[in-house]
Amino acid sequence: MALPADATLADVGEFGLISELTALFPQGEHVLVGPGDDAAVLRVRTGHVVVSTDLMVEGRHFRRDWASGADVGHRAAAQNISDINAMGGRATSLTIGLAAPADLPAAWALDLAAGFAEECGLVGASIVGGDLTRADQVVVAVTVLGTCTQSPVLRSGAEPGDLLALVGRQGWAAGGLTVLSRGFRSPRVLVDAYRRPTPPYDAGPAAAEAGATSMIDVSDGLLSEVGHLAAGSGVAIDVRTATLEVAEPLVTVGAALGAEPLSFVLGGGDDHGLLATFPPGQVPDGWTVVGEVLDGGTPGEVTVDGAAYEGATGWTHF
């Protein structure tokens, strides 16, 4: 549909804008999966190439007084590698673009590169190129390429009766961000989780081999990502809070700041764990069943313990 001439990004919203933009981009025959999933999928002779791009903008995604250059490098690499992981693939190559003010200390940029390279080394991926330009604030732009040896796992394959499962830490980075936002630096374990996430990089390919029907990484918020699975698959999904781990540091922060600890888990992002749906009996070891795909219900609907959830479900950019 045509947008009003005076519409702003806030009026349209992140996903409304994405929908409008993707309609403008014709796809060639070699594109198996284009915009709209965790990564694109391109046809190659053996297996598939998967590609994803992310941006990190100073003041929006990080603050230099909260995180070192190395921390930002780790985070930038992790969020991109995790997108390949969420397709059931493994990252192989990355490019990184850096825009920065002329007065940015060179040491900070070098620390950024070192942290980025260290994170990439965890999966054996290489940084194969990039770009550098001047800007009024630091912007990090990353493109990652990877491979899937099997069919990529999309957001659109969940079926009624499937189990929803989670692997990796959840809510820790959100707790750390809350602590930093209030001017504190402890519990240190949560602050460190925000600064340097620890995605379960081996879990994506393992889930694909186990028969995952849909999958996504938790970058913006658990319930928000479950919503993408539900919308992409045209199903309703219920999340069970009794199965979600609320770690002791989250309880401590919740008590100190007057926040509900479970809200960090349900609405928090940036830990880059994985959510996936599996047929019963096919959930791999290490994953926790946290819900189910309902037989019936409104397509795209997400409920918590059988009811609508009124709290924050995740981060929105506009």
Known binder of ligand: residue 90? no
For 262, the token pair is 């479970």
- What was the pLDDT predicted at 161? 98
DSSP 174-217: HHHHHHHHTT---SHHHHHHHHS----TTHHHHHHHHT-SEEEE
Extract the residue ranges of the chain whose pLDDT is less than 50.
none
Known binder of ligand: residue 38? yes
- What was the pLDDT predicted at 24? 63
CB neighbours of residue 89 within 10 Å: 30
Known binder of ligand: residue 220? yes
Known binder of ligand: residue 217? yes
- What was the pLDDT predicted at 266? 97
Helix axes 106-121, 69-85, angle to 10 degrees: 30
Known binder of ligand: residue 287? no
Cis geometry, peptide bond prior to residue 199 (ω within 30 degrees of 0): no
Contact 299, 227 (CB under 8 A): no
Known binder of ligand: residue 315? yes
- What was the pLDDT predicted at 12? 74
Q: Which candidate, 269, 194, 64, 68, places its Cα nearest to that of 186?
A: 194
- What was the pLDDT predicted at 107? 87
Q: What fold characterizes domain 163-304?
A: Phosphoribosyl-aminoimidazole Synthetase; Chain A, domain 2 (3.90.650)
- Distance CA(227)–CA(56), nearest Å, equals 23
Known binder of ligand: residue 155? yes
Known binder of ligand: residue 195? no
Known binder of ligand: residue 52? yes
Q: What fold characterizes domain 46-148?
A: 60s Ribosomal Protein L30; Chain: A; (3.30.1330)
Q: Which candidate, 318, 317, 305, 213, places its Cα nearest to that of 266?
A: 305
**CA max distance for the chain:** 58
Q: Which candidate, 169, 289, 301, 172, places its Cα nearest to that of 235?
A: 301
Q: Which candidate, 314, 175, 194, places its Cα nearest to that of 257?
A: 175
Known binder of ligand: residue 71? no
**pLDDT per residue over 81-119, tens digit each?**
999 999 999 999 989 999 999 899 888 998 999 999 999
Known binder of ligand: residue 202? no
Known binder of ligand: residue 181? no
* Ranges of each domain in the chain: 1-36, 46-148, 163-304
In 3-state terms the chain splits into helix, strand, coil percentages (rounded to 5) of 35, 25, 45
Beta-sheet strand order (sheet of 288-293): 214-217, 274-278, 163-167, 288-293, 237-239, 302-304
- What was the pLDDT predicted at 185? 85
DSSP 290-318: EEEE-SSS-TT-EEETTB---S--S----
